[in-house]
Structure formats: structure tokens, C-alpha cells
Amino acid sequence: MSKKCYRCGKDATSKEHAPAKCYFPEEAEYRKNLITVPSCKEHNEDTSKDDEYVRNWICMSLGNNGTAYKQFFGKVIKSIQESPGLKAIMFKNAKRVFVEDEKGNKLPTWAFELDRVRFDSAIIKIAYALFYNTYKETWHKDLHTMTDFLVYGDMTQDEQGALLQSFRGQIHEHHFDGNNPQVFKYKFLQTESEDIHEQVLRMQFYEGFEIWVIPKIEINTV
């Protein structure tokens, strides 16, 4: 019997990396025991361009480690140079903005328009794969992303980012899972519910860019 896709249950034709291999530098020290799950074509090869798009965005963000900068000056720049279409999408509506450093100094940088739907879809794909790898079953929940590392054009956070920022001081540090923490690490966190499908997933890329994935709340109406 063939293995089933981690996401939809169709017969698997390949393996999906979580995250995709494009996030990891080529050196073996960054690719220790990469996570893979069985996948159908729809949920693997057909999303490779989205993986590259999101990887580029994360590597371009402030606050990451040297591994992200290594990726930026290697894979990210190369992907942008080789794909005029990707370059046009990533740098559309560019604007000059200023951010504050730890000392309160305003530093100039650039902000670009992000396709948030595309971004969230790629991140949620990783979340489903991690859940399958951890619990050997499909995560039967619609998922939602939360991050305070993305802002609107006026530099304000969206509602989810603002909510995450409000309780960031109450987040307890814990041991993350993942064999390549300089690139990616994650942790499933149990909520008050004993149902594993109600867990929250915390992911961190390049020791800086953090994203939380939570099950959407189901509201029953009478």
C-alpha cells in the first residue's frame, strides 16, 4: 500500500521537505536530518515557487542571524536576478521607511508589498507537514498565522501581530525542536485542551523571524 499525502490523503508520489530545502544553505552542516513527509504532487512540486518567494522575504527581514545573510547574498540575490517576474513581484510599491534600533535611533531602510495570502499559504503548508511528522496523522484544523515581524505600509501591525506583541513578555522560553536551529526550529505547545489538534505551533527562521500558527476558532451559531 502506498503512503498517503500528509495534507490531503491522496496517494503520495514524492516527499515534501518541511521547510523546503531552499531555506537551507548547501553545506551539510545546515542540512542535518531534514524533515520530510509523504506528499502528492499538488502539495509538493507545484508550490516550489511559493517556497522560494517566502524564503526570500524572510531572509530580507531585519533581526536574523548570519545564516540568513548568507542565504540573501547567495540564493536570494541569484533567484531575483534569474527571474525578472519574481523581482517585479517582490519589489513592487517599494517605499523608503525608518526603523528604530535598540538605542532608539531611526535607521533608513526599504519596505515592500507582501502577498500575505501567498505567504500564509506557504507557512501553513510547513505547519501541516510538521504536525504529520510529529504525530503521524493529518492536522484536521483550518490554520491561521500570527507574526509581529510584518507590518502595514504605515508601519503599524495588523491585529494578529499586535495581539502577539501584547503577550510576548509572558511567553516562557523552552527547548525548540529541529536539527538545524540556525536555519529553522519549532515547537508544538499544548493549550488547555487535551486534543493534540488544538495545539499552537511556534516557528523561528534564522533565529530571528518568528511565526505562530494556531487553529482557527470555530464559532457555532444557533
Phi, psi angles (nearest 5°) of residue 156? -95, 155
172 falls in which pLDDT band (50, 70, 90)?
A: confident
Residue 67 lies in a domain: yes
- Give the model's pLDDT for residue 6: 95
Which of 114-118, 182-186, 209-213, 217-221 is the least confident region? 217-221
Picking from 81, 148, 68, 153, the residue whose alpha carbon sits closest to that of residue 110 is: 153
Of residues 1 and 117, more confidently modeled: 117
Residue 1 lies in a domain: no
Query: Taking 80 as the threshold, does the pLDDT of residue 201 lie above it?
Result: yes
70 falls in which pLDDT band (50, 70, 90)?
A: very high
pLDDT in tens, 2-56: 589 999 888 999 999 999 999 999 999 999 999 999 999 888 877 888 999 999 9
DSSP per residue over the chain, as a string? -PPBPTTT-SBP-EEEESS-GGGS-SSGGG-TT--EEEE-STTTGGGHHHHHHHHHHHHHSTT--HHHHHHIIIIIHHHHHH-HHHHHHHTTT-EEEEEE-TTS-EEEEEE----HHHHHHHHHHHHHHHHHHHHSS---S-EEEE-SS-B-TTS-B-HHHHHHHHTGGGPPP-PPEEEETTTEEEEEE--SSS-GGG-EEEEEETTTEEEEEEEPPP----
Query: Taking 50 as the threshold, does the pLDDT of residue 160 lie above it?
Result: yes
Residue 35 lies in a domain: yes
Of residues 43 and 101, more confidently modeled: 43
Residue 5 lies in a domain: no
Q: How far is CA 100 from CA 150, 171, 199, in A?
A: 15, 23, 34
In the chain, the largest separation of any two C-alpha atoms, in whole Å, equals: 61
Overall number of domains in the chain: 1
Who's near 165: CB < 8 A, 6+ residues apart? 148, 157
Residue 81 lies in a domain: yes
Residue 222 lies in a domain: no
| Residue 57 domain boundaries | 14-215
- Give the model's pLDDT for residue 222: 46
Query: Taking 90 as the threshold, does the pLDDT of residue 174 lie above it?
Result: no
Q: How far apart are CA 97 and CA 146, in angstroms?
A: 23
Residue 7 lies in a domain: no
Which of 59-63, 96-100, 184-188 is the least confident region? 96-100
Picking from 149, 148, 20, 151, the residue whose alpha carbon sits closest to that of residue 75 is: 20
The grid coordinates of residue 15 equal 516527499
Query: Taking 80 as the threshold, does the pLDDT of residue 96 lie above it?
Result: no
Residue 23, burial from CB neighbour count under 10 angstroms (0-12, 13-18, 19+): buried
* Mean pLDDT of all residues belonging to the chain: 86
Paired residues of 16 in beta bridges: 37
Q: How far apart are CA 55 and CA 75, in angstroms?
A: 9
0.85 exceeded by pTM: yes
pLDDT in tens, 13-24: 999 999 999 999
Residue 4 lies in a domain: no
Query: Taking 80 as the threshold, does the pLDDT of residue 163 lie above it?
Result: no
